[in-house]
Amino acid sequence: MQVDTQTSHVSKTMLWTGYVLSALPVLMLLFSGAIKAVNAASVVEGFARFGYPDNVAFGIGIVELISTVLYVIPQTSVLGAILLTGYLGGATATHVRVGEPFIFPILLGMLVWGGLFLREPRLRALLPLRD
């Protein structure tokens, strides 16, 4: 299916709401990825509590940062959202496995897709909401 994004109309309100909704998870994921990449003490503690060796934190942080950067770039935002969905699914599974509340990664994923839906006409064409 081909979508003509040149003629797709996005209201300024919808676009800015999408940017704000997208900015919230982006800021959180960039911070989270950065502290994993530098292997902060709190990350080492958290990984031990979750049953992961601390030597995987760097790689997980890099994956999180790359996925988030791809999400921020308009041309690769859908790919970034798909990668972040997988990442947040793993975070959800980790929290479920250790018996902790798991709503936060799910809400973060909803913000990722909700923000993208509002700012990306190709996604709205692919997943149209019915009246």
Any domain includes 6:
no
Any domain includes 77:
yes
Any domain includes 102:
yes
Any domain includes 34:
yes
Give residue 27's identity as a one-letter amino acid code: L
Q: What is the per-residue burial (b if ≥16 Cβ within 10 Å, else e) of 99-124?
A: eeeeeebeebbebbbebbbbbbbbbb
User: pTM for the whole thing?
Assistant: 0.87
- Domain residues for the domain of 77 are 12-125
Instruction: Give the chain's domain count.
Output: 1
Any domain includes 7:
no
Any domain includes 1:
no
**Range 60-73 average pLDDT:** 97
Task: Say yes or no to pLDDT of 55 above 80.
Answer: yes
Any domain includes 25:
yes
pLDDT tens-place string over residues 109-123: 999 999 999 999 888
